[in-house]
């Protein structure tokens, strides 16, 4: 899977999206979804796209049954992350911050999406703060900080409610 994401063409991406949406499928099933009422040449096109995706490490064949099934080896988030890292490397000297800033300031996010993004950032910040805090060496004379046990918590866990708000997007 060392291939760069630019190697995935738009046609190959369409096949990957069908596999992500519907799960493992045969060439015939993919052809019927992508080319309803398709011809023999459409079947050959899907077969060639799957061969190329397999060579790039994006899909794999399942030969265990009587029919040949194809399934994705990478998920949508992984491919998106690879593309974003390449864009950040090429346009922003490797920093993702200009991309995130553009998305937030570009008003392409709805109010609900901005709220969920804020909850995600807050959750990430809080969890990274806890990790840093627990790894810090204790001050002389003070006990090492440890996370509270659930029975010791005096209020409901905020991270669960933050994650719930992210999932409702």
Is 68 in the same domain as 118? no
Residue scoring higher pLDDT (100 or 12): 12
- Segment 117-133 shows an average pLDDT of 77
Q: How many domains does the chain divide into?
A: 3
Is 32 in the same domain as 81? no
- DSSP per-residue string spanning 28-87: HHHHHHHSTT--HHHHHHHHHHHHHHHHTTSEEEE-SSSS-EEEESS-HHHHHHHHHHHH
Determine, yes or no, domain membership for 151. Answer: no
Question: φ and ψ at 105, to 5 degrees?
Answer: -80, -20
Residues 8, 16 contacting (CB under 8 angstroms): yes
Q: pLDDT band at residue 122, thresholds of 50, 70 and 90? A: confident
Average pLDDT taken over every residue of the chain: 78
Determine, yes or no, domain membership for 139. Answer: no
Determine, yes or no, domain membership for 140. Answer: no
The CATH number linked to 57 is 1.10.10.10
pLDDT at 165 over 60: no
Determine, yes or no, domain membership for 47. Answer: yes
Give the pLDDT of residue 139. Answer: 54
pLDDT at 166 over 80: no
Q: What domain range is 56 assigned to?
A: 5-74
**pTM of the full structure:** 0.62
pLDDT at 169 over 80: no
Residues 6+ apart with CB under 8 A from 7: 56
Is 38 in the same domain as 90? no
Is 27 in the same domain as 46? yes
Is 15 in the same domain as 69? yes
Is 121 in the same domain as 168? yes
Is 18 in the same domain as 69? yes
Q: Which pLDDT tens digit goes with each residue over 52-106?
A: 999 999 999 988 878 899 999 999 998 988 888 888 899 989 888 888 788 777 7
DSSP designation for 25: B
Is 53 in the same domain as 95? no
């Amino acid at each position: 899977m060392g291939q760069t994401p630019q190697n995935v063409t738009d046609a190959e991406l369409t096949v990957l999206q069908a596999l992500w949406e519907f799960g493992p499928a045969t060439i015939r099933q993919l052809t019927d979804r992508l080319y309803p009422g398709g011809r023999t040449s459409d079947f050959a096109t899907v077969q060639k796209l799957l061969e190329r995706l397999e060579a790039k490490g994006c899909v794999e064949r399942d030969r265990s049954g009587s029919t040949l099934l194809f399934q994705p080896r990478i998920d949508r988030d992984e491919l998106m992350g690879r593309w974003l890292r390449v864009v950040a490397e090429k346009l922003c000297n490797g920093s993702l911050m200009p991309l995130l800033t553009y998305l937030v300031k570009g008003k392409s996010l709805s109010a609900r999406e901005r709220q969920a993004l804020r909850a995600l950032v807050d959750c990430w910040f809080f969890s990274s703060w806890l990790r840093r805090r627990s790894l810090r060496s204790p001050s002389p004379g003070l006990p090492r900080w440890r996370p509270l046990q659930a029975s010791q918590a005096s209020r409901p866990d905020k991270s669960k409610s933050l994650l719930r708000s992210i999932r409702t997007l």
